[in-house]
Chain A
């Protein structure tokens, strides 16, 4: 019940396309859902986060969609750029610790 399932494992998108990464959780006590971006050799950096009282949050080119009834949330990257190539992790929390998805390696082709 503590798991967060993330898909796909990897994703290749042409520049300008809209990659979509999906996550699903089981624990209804989770109430904080961040997305982290990680470049090779670096620590994860918070990209955007959402709470379950809203269905969508947008920050720049990044949007989280949240479906509380389905216990799913997703990250959309609008007008993707080669610089967005990184590994993306979804996570969920109901306390101190973050429970992480397995990560999606995203490649944006020029």
Chain B
């Protein structure tokens, strides 16, 4: 069964450093998403991406964040200058279509710890 993969599984970084979280969505999917989950809290939407453009983003997704599809398979989330409060589990998801009734498939997540 096809699945979304994410690397690394864990990332520890110093405050102020840049991090890049990587995702490989399911191959025939066209819509990609990033969510985050701070420990013990709810999952929060960050951004959705289609056709090399951001289609929707939340208030959390400020200028510190950027997304990119650098090639035909990878989808990345960059945090330019990490803050302590960026420590969270980051989930990538993909769907075949972007209509809201379409199932989003989630990767296993990257646990980011900012020290």
Contacts and interface: CB of A to CB of B under 8 A. Distances in A.
Query: Contact size class for B?
Result: 20 to 34
A40 B4 CA distance: 17
Interface of A: 31-32, 34, 36, 41-46, 49, 51, 89, 91, 93-103
Given A44-B91, A89-B43, A96-B56, 11 more contacts: A31-B100, A43-B108, A44-B106, A45-B106, A49-B101, A89-B42, A96-B31, A96-B48, A97-B45, A97-B48, A101-B42
Interface in B15-34: 31, 33
Contacts of A103: 42-43
B114 to A, nearest CB: 20
B51 interface: no
Contacts of A94: 100
Contacts of B109: 42-43
24 contacts: A31-B101, A34-B103, A42-B108, A42-B109, A43-B4, A43-B91, A44-B43, A44-B91, A46-B104, A49-B101, A89-B42, A89-B43, A93-B100, A93-B101, A94-B100, A95-B100, A96-B33, A96-B48, A96-B55, A96-B100, A97-B33, A100-B43, A100-B44, A103-B42
Interface string B80-96: 00000000000101000
Nearest to B103: A46
A96 B107 CA distance: 17
Q: DSSP class of A's interface residues: helix, strand, loop or mixed?
A: loop
